[in-house]
Amino acid sequence: MNKPTSPAALRVIESDICIVGNGAIAKTAALGLAQAGLSVTLLGPPTPPAKPAAADQGWDARVYALNHTAYHLLSSYKVWDALDHSRVAPVDAMLVHGDGPHAGGLAFDAYGAHTNTLTWILEDRNLNQALDAALRFAQNVKTVAGRAIGLLRDADSATVQLDDGGSIKAALVVGADGAQSWVRGQCDIGLDYRSYNQRAVVSNFACELPHHGAAHQWFTGAEGIVALLPLPGNKVSLVWSAPEQLADTLRAESAQQIADRLAVFAQEKLGALTPLQPELVRDFPLRLIRPHAMVAQRVALIGDAAHVVHPLAGHGMNLGFGDVAQLIKTLSEREPQRAIGDDRVLARYARARKEDVLLMQVTTDGLARLFETDIEPLRVVRNLGLNLLDKLPVLKRRLISHAMGK
């Protein structure tokens, strides 16, 4: 069984790859790279012992909409089967609603996309518990609890120095340590940063009417973007991308007051909303982060360390799974004479991810800018655009196929 190791007891740990990070993307990368025959050290901060799960365990405020790329990746490592499927909701339709008196609309469904499911909604806790279970029995993966304080690189290897005096030496360091990536900072990789002056307010509700596996998203203009994602049973998860001032107001209100506000959008589709856990309302800032590179000498970035996008399309996590899949593919297909940290190999990974990442950045940023403007002529144009797109089945299928990762 693979248990976290004290770096002090080992002093110097050697492996093919050192992954810095302890989120779902880092853990998936560790499983995948190990299955590809590489030895992996997964470095994350010390975490307190997990509390036993309560029988009436509530729903996470943070949920993900995972596409087919994520599904196939997690399935190949037996993680998908280890999920608690009673807490996973397949999405059969996506309904996008415009704003104003002549609101446009756009609908996607699984039948029109020639698939059984568009995406799956699952909680952060459910995903990480399944990944942790897989890691405990993974071959070639060593998990280390510690903090990195230095990164030394040369033509042959990279060494991550730890705060207790120990170190991890590897041929490649993978930065999977989030939007404020320490690894990225050690490589002096510049970035473009812009705040959307919004915060995502999240919570969960029971709905009076069945959601029939449909995800709803309302572009409201001045009040931001409201998304209600289906959970198992008559339950939905809210992600409200709200302007800062409104976000402050929402965070000062009770979950029931937020539910009352949502009635103007959801009443017709979902009926009355009732908070599942009145105390569980969270928020996090929304920003665009575009690092100038995804690789450096002996370093590759994945997940939020490599890109952060607006959550309106729900695909920030899926971009990270795409990074993992491509990194594993690139390293596995390298020429025998090339090391896994070879500059040419890493450049191939960056090139292979460039188009997909750029497309998602441009799309989400463009939509966020387009729908935050509350000017009537622009409102009319964007609603007409939604209606027109809804009547172009070929283009719709292309969009949904890309979003699904197929």
Residues 243 and 274 in one domain: yes
Q: Name the nearest CA neighbour of 18 among 36, 3, 33, 1.
A: 33
Residues 34 and 140 in one domain: yes
Residues 347 and 199 in one domain: no
Q: Determine contact, residues 66/119, Cβ cutoff 8 Å.
A: yes
Identity of residue 134: A
Residues 200 and 262 in one domain: yes
Q: How many domains does the chain have?
A: 2
pLDDT tens by residue, the chain, 406 residues: 465 555 444 589 999 999 999 999 999 999 999 999 999 999 998 776 555 555 457 899 899 999 999 999 999 999 999 999 999 999 999 888 876 555 566 777 876 667 889 999 999 999 999 999 999 999 999 999 999 999 999 999 999 999 999 999 999 999 999 999 999 999 999 999 999 999 999 999 999 999 999 999 888 878 988 999 999 999 999 999 999 999 999 999 999 999 999 999 999 999 999 999 988 899 999 999 999 999 999 999 999 999 999 887 677 899 999 999 999 999 999 999 999 999 999 999 999 999 999 988 887 777 776 666 554 444 445 545 544 444 445 444 555 555 555 6
Q: Give the strand pairing for 214-219 and 225-231.
A: antiparallel
Interatomic CA distance for residues 368 and 342, integer angstroms: 38
Q: What 3-state class would DSSP assign to 90?
A: strand
Q: Determine contact, residues 134/79, Cβ cutoff 8 Å.
A: yes
Residues 175 and 207 in one domain: no
pLDDT at 240: 96
Residues 218 and 255 in one domain: yes
Q: What 3-state class would DSSP assign to 258?
A: helix
pLDDT at 3: 55
pLDDT at 49: 58
Interatomic CA distance for residues 163 and 6, integer angstroms: 12
Interatomic CA distance for residues 117 and 21, integer angstroms: 30
Q: DSSP alpha helices (H): ranges in 292-372?
A: 316-332, 343-372
pLDDT at 109: 80
Handedness of CA 349, 354, 359, 360 (dihedral sign): positive
What is the CA angle 305-307-313, rounded to 5?
130
CATH of the domain at 339: 3.50.50.60
Residue 71 belongs to a domain: no
* Residue 275 belongs to domain spanning: 90-123+194-286+372-404
pLDDT at 222: 82
pTM above 0.85, yes or no: yes
